[in-house]
Amino acid sequence: GAGVSQSPSNKVTEKGKDVELRCDPISGHTALYWYRQSLGQGLEFLIYFQGNSAPDKSGLPSDRFSAERTGGSVSTLTIQRTQQEDSAVYLCASSPTRRVETQYFGPGTRLLVL
């Protein structure tokens, strides 16, 4: 079946602009995660959604970052007033339930803030 998809693949924006990144998880997966990977670094947890529960936002670096998940499926990560340090690859992952530890990752969105 189809894997996790993300769009756009690449995004170039100017400092101060808002951006929206989209994630389509694997159909039926109830858990969805956003991570950020800066150049040459490991992944940094941002936010986690599980079913209809309140999301775990503990990894969001500032209030310029927000995410929502509509209908328990598609998720959008929004970065307002982008800064150059926001440049990174943003990765989305999903898993069938919280009890299933393996996460399935999308290809990521490479964001460049000029």
Which residues of the chain form contacts with other proteins (CB under 8 A)? 4, 31, 33, 35, 37, 41-45, 48, 50, 56, 59, 89, 91, 93, 95, 98-99, 101-108, 110
- CA nearest neighbour of 20 among 92, 85, 71, 72: 92
Residue 21 near residue 73, CB atoms below 8 Å: no
Residue 64 near residue 20, CB atoms below 8 Å: no
Q: Shortest approach of other proteins to residue 95 CB, angstroms? A: 7
Alpha-carbon distance 83 to 100, whole Å?
35
Q: Which CB atom, from 67 or from 91, has the smaller least distance to other proteins?
A: 91
Alpha helices in 1-114 (DSSP H): none
Q: Which CB atom, from 14 or from 54, has the smaller least distance to other proteins?
A: 54
Q: Shortest approach of other proteins to residue 110 CB, angstroms? A: 8
Q: Are strands 109-113 and 10-13 parallel, antiparallel or unpaired?
A: parallel
Q: Which CB atom, from 81 or from 112, has the smaller least distance to other proteins?
A: 112
Q: Which CB atom, from 19 or from 91, has the smaller least distance to other proteins?
A: 91
Q: Shortest approach of other proteins to residue 66 CB, angstroms? A: 17
